Chain A
Amino acid sequence: MKNEAVLEKWAGKVASVSIGALKQQGGSRKSVINVGGEETLPFLFKEGSIPNRPAIAFEVWDIYPADWPSCLLGAYGDTLKDPLRWARKCTQEYGAGLICLKLQGAHPDLGNKNPEEAASLVRELLKTIDVPLVILGCGDDSKDSAVLPACSEAARGERCLIGDALQDNYKTLTAAVLADGHNIIAESPIDVNIAKQLNILISDMNLPLERIVINPTIGALGYGLEYAYSIMERARLAALAGDKTLAMPFICFAGQESWRAKEARASMAEFPAWGEEGPRGVIWEAVTAAALLQAGADILVMRHPAAVEKINNHIERLFRR
């Protein structure tokens, strides 16, 4: 007897979001990253269309990332002291198709750079690289409300992805993104109800649902990954069942969360049984990212080039049909 696959028919689909604008679209990028558009759960190619591959963004900071562990620092060397060189290394040496600029130096405790400095860096970066850009604030609400609109304006027309908008702090950023033609990241604290609510609040300000990317907030392997997975799965199932207010692509900060884990950072001297810390950290990031792909991640923001390489190969294999 022949076994027949039980295929699900879905009514809804995830919205497609385009990041980056070409010259003819009013920007200056040489490429555009399209994410989303899935008509089924991850990698179930027989059930529905999966038009876009997950994208990987390399994280680049505006200041030297002093708290990164040494194996991560070693991968980039002294380019880390100059965001432009750092970004160029990612695109030229590691083939990055998407750069995620984190304006950590704007944080009051970490340099307190002013909005003009941040905007000027965005301008320079857009001249230095020709791939699309994700722009992140420093995480301090009042500072981000000043810095991000300035960066949004500096990048007007480049169709960046800018974040994060929060339930208590979304209006200023939404207005800026709307005015300057960008996409927005809507962040919720591993909470599908708040994710949905925030999307509605943002779309009530007339930003189309197709310009929102959900940051569901994730935990690394060993630090709540399963919980993040279940929230993403629930949101995605609702999206596929027709809930447009949850039908957005996901962006997941796999690098940031993985390299926070003790298992990724601790030295071999401290835990001899755990083996060498370099490869261990890379594996921690790659395993976290691989699991997030299965949860429905559309954009992975990653740190270690070796982990990125592993995930690129993994995606390549998953898409080989």
Chain B
Amino acid sequence: MFVIGELINGMYADIARAIKARDKAIVQDCALGQLEAGAEALDVNCGPASRQPESDIRWLVETIREVTDAPLALDSSKPEVILSGLEAAGNKVIINSTTADREKLDKLLPLAKKYNARLIGLAISAKGIPQSKDQRLELAAEIVACCVEQGFPTEDLYLDPVIMPVNVAQSQLGGILEAIREFRIISEPAPKTVIGLSNVSQGTSCRSLINRTFLVMAAAFGLDAAILDPKDKELMDALITAELVLNKQIYCDSYLDAYRKK
């Protein structure tokens, strides 16, 4: 599983403070801590409170790049903020994210191609959040069609079925898991799949358990990547064990350590 660490986000108080005070150490520690815990890439989001997201994301990216060249997922709904991050990050970037809206795709696909970036596509549109598996598939297919049309490689596309909290849309979670499996057959080469995991437990009283249960189930449905908290050790242990059961890692007595040694 391609693990994207979610902790560099202005939504969290320490990162918000760091952004405001331009305190590099906090951000760099957060970056390295996540990589050490098993993340392969880092999500970068200046948060909803940022007044100047374009310069904030640039500063975040530059700050992180001082300590690691791990892939960065530039997380913003605003294409101009993503562009600012792309300029600062150079290579190894993931655009997080586009929706299935033509206008958005027309802006972000050329950027993804120009910067050789991977792209996360949310199965969502201006019309709202999909309410069924079929709607998710339809939106995903629109994104894939647009990628093919514009010559963006589908294997660099990560489709996100858009996770709903279990206490809000309990009946949808089964369909979301099925969508993960079915997204892969939309095109050849297959697009990849990603989820923003912590959404599933938003507002619940036992977040970590719900997160790891859902992640293990999603892994069984063939999920390729997840944006999550890699410092949740039980979550990572569950994920590593799921990959073992799925024969994606070779067992040994120290398989948890072995995975982290990668």
Does A288 make an interface contact (CB < 8 A)? Answer: no
Among listed B71-79, B174-182, B244-252, interface-contacting one: B244-252
Among listed B100-108, B192-200, B222-230, B253-261, interface-contacting one: B253-261
Q: Is the CB of B261 within 8 A of A244?
A: yes
Does A242 make an interface contact (CB < 8 A)? Answer: yes
Given contacts A244-B261, A244-B262, A245-B261, contact A197 B249 (CB under 8 A): no
Complex CA distance for A246 and B251, rounded to whole angstroms: 11
Q: Is the CB of A193 within 8 A of B261?
A: no
CB neighbours of B252 from chain A (8 A): 193-194, 196-197, 200, 245
Nearest CB in chain B to that of A198: its residue: B252
Q: Report the tally of A-B residue pairs with Cβ distances under 8 A.
A: 35
Complex CA distance for A246 and B259, rounded to whole angstroms: 12
Complex CA distance for A192 and B252, rounded to whole angstroms: 8
Cross-chain contact of A203 among B249, B251, B261, B262 (Cβ < 8 A): B261
Complex CA distance for A235 and B249, rounded to whole angstroms: 10
Dominant secondary structure at the A interface = helix
CB neighbours of A196 from chain B (8 A): 250-252, 258
Q: Is the CB of A193 within 8 A of B262?
A: no
CB neighbours of B249 from chain A (8 A): 238, 243
CB distance from A10 to the nearest CB of B (A): 15
Complex CA distance for A243 and B254, rounded to whole angstroms: 13
CB neighbours of A30 from chain B (8 A): none
Dominant secondary structure at the B interface = loop
Q: Is the CB of B250 within 8 A of A246?
A: yes
Place the interface of chain B in its size category: 10 to 19
Complex CA distance for A235 and B252, rounded to whole angstroms: 12
CB neighbours of B257 from chain A (8 A): 200
Cross-chain contact of B261 among A192, A200, A235, A238 (Cβ < 8 A): A200
CB neighbours of B254 from chain A (8 A): 197, 200-201
Query: B-facing mask of A214-246, CB < 8 A → 1, else 0?
Result: 000000000000000000001100100011111
CB distance from A139 to the nearest CB of B (A): 24
CB neighbours of A193 from chain B (8 A): 250-253
CB distance from B8 to the nearest CB of A (A): 24
Complex CA distance for A4 and B262, rounded to whole angstroms: 33
CB distance from B192 to the nearest CB of A (A): 14
Of residues 170 through 205 on chain A, the ones whose CB sits less than 8 Å from some CB of chain B are 192-194, 196-197, 200-201, 203
Complex CA distance for A200 and B249, rounded to whole angstroms: 14
Complex CA distance for A246 and B250, rounded to whole angstroms: 9
Query: B-facing mask of A239-259, CB < 8 A → 1, else 0?
Result: 000111110000000000000
Complex CA distance for A238 and B254, rounded to whole angstroms: 16
CB distance from A5 to the nearest CB of B (A): 17
Query: A-facing mask of B62-82, CB < 8 A → 1, else 0?
Result: 000000000000000000000
- Sampled A-B contacts (5; CB under 8 Å): A193-B250, A235-B250, A238-B250, A243-B250, A245-B261
Given contacts A196-B250, A196-B251, A246-B250, list 16 more A-B pairs with CB under 8 A. Answer: A193-B250, A193-B252, A194-B252, A197-B253, A197-B254, A200-B252, A200-B257, A200-B258, A200-B261, A238-B250, A242-B262, A243-B258, A243-B262, A244-B261, A244-B262, A245-B252
**Top-7 shortest CB links A-B:** A197-B252, A196-B252, A200-B254, A245-B258, A193-B252, A238-B250, A193-B251
